[in-house]
Structure 1
Amino acid sequence: MNKKKKQKEKDSTRQLMGITDITSHSLVTGYGELVFFMIKPTNISVLSDSSIGARIYALMNVLKGIAEIEMLCLNSRENFEDVKANLRSRMDTEQNPAIRKLLAQDMTSLDRMQVQMATAREFLIIIRLHNEKQSDVQPYLSRIEKSLKDQGFTVRKAAEFDIKRLLGVYYEQNVTTERYEDYDGERWVIFGE
């Protein structure tokens, strides 16, 4: 038991998450290679009932045509609940009315930001590849992308940066990082010195 615990402490984050590699177009795991297609969402609140029905039918056609498809929806926004809970507790204990008023203004500001970002969702189609020949992969993925576009979806295959950002959002709810490092502290290493 102690040996397993020590090994787990030495494992990298990728090993703990079961990720073997992040390539320029996929996430390689022990359960297959995952390729992500990012779909730009449609604001259905402005569409008519028949237009919404057409979008659902288009998605159904895509799902029927690709058996290996998986879907993922992520909130790509900040979660302010912990900060708001902290502000509430500070407001309850604060004696100074001016500071209480400032805390209330901060709470209102966070509420506004959260409402503005409430529709920030990301929709992904995931294709899991299992031992496909490398020569067959790109034509297969191009066919899937074309199928999605033919059904009226705005779609693109996720690049390495997109995959790292998706992992950051999924595991950490981190939507503010501009560049994700391959290794912790990588930005501080100076080569050639």
Structure 2
Amino acid sequence: MGKRERKRRQETDTRHLIGVQALTEYGLVTYGQETLVYFLIKPANLSVLSEASIGRRIYALMTVLKGVAEVEMLCLNSRESFEENKLFLRRRMEEEQNPVVRSLLEKDQKHLDRIQVQMATAREFLIIVRLKEEEEREALAYLSRIEKSLKEQGFSVSRAGREDIKRLLAVYYEQNVTTEKFEDFDGERWIIQED
């Protein structure tokens, strides 16, 4: 790797790496000059619905999707994943010679299994709309129509705000669901404003 390539990589910030130019109040602007707008869908508990009710929900979603060509769907874990931790513990148990340490590793793995079972239904469902260089006034009216359409079809929906989008990015990229307030840039919480 050449000297210029190393320098370029060092100067590349996190936003460039993930393709995010800016966060607005209603979306995420990419370097491709499109805005991604996220709608948070509160999931229904399908296990208590009849087959006919589930069919109606599917048809309602299909109606929304047919009406808006730019819609994409996304499902995210809204809780941390412990799969890599469990793999590590399994490997360590296979390698470990000390029975006491192996027993502790097994207990750790059982604990992670219990936590994961408790969080198994922690999913977030999103509808994403990609906007191409539209005027903000027109975009807001268009997004309001989409949100109204989703609500008319019986979905509990809200447009993701700036903090919601930062939380979604944190969950997606670093599986971080424990932070209360996400920073706009690394180290923001450590800056002390002088009077």
- Could you tell me whether the CA contact under 8 Å between 2:37 and 2:130 is conserved in 1? yes
How far apart are the structure 1 equivalents of 2:111 and 2:18?
36
How far apart are the structure 1 equivalents of 2:90 and 2:70?
47
Matched residue, 2:65: 63
Matched residue, 1:77: 79
Partner SS state of residue 180, structure 1: coil
- 1:69-97 per-residue CA deviation (whole Å, 9 max, x = no partner) reads 11111112211122222323343444554
TM-score, normalising length from structure 2? 0.90
- 1:92-129 per-residue CA deviation (whole Å, 9 max, x = no partner) reads 44455444433322221110110111111111111111
- Aligned-residue identity in percent: 61
Instruction: Work out the number of aligned pairs and report it.
Output: 193
- 1:43-88 per-residue CA deviation (whole Å, 9 max, x = no partner) reads 2122111011000000000001111111111112211122222323
How far apart are the structure 2 equivalents of 1:17 and 1:25?
19
TM-score, normalising length from structure 1? 0.91
Gaps of 5+ in 1: none
Question: Within 5 Å, which residues of 2 pair with 1:136-151?
Answer: 136-151=138-153
Question: Within 5 Å, which residues of 2 pair with 1:45-64?
Answer: 45-64=47-66
* Partner residue of 2:184 out of 177, 182, 185: 182
Partner SS state of residue 161, structure 1: helix
* Partner residue of 1:109 out of 108, 111, 119: 111
2:146 matched to 1:158?
Answer: no
How far apart are the structure 2 equivalents of 1:44 and 1:10?
48
Runs of 4+ in 1 over 3 A off after TM superposition: 89-102
CA RMSD of superposed structures (Å)? 1.8
How far apart are the structure 2 equivalents of 1:53 and 1:18?
38
Gaps of 5+ in 2: none
Q: After alignment, is 125-134 or 50-59 more displaced?
A: 125-134
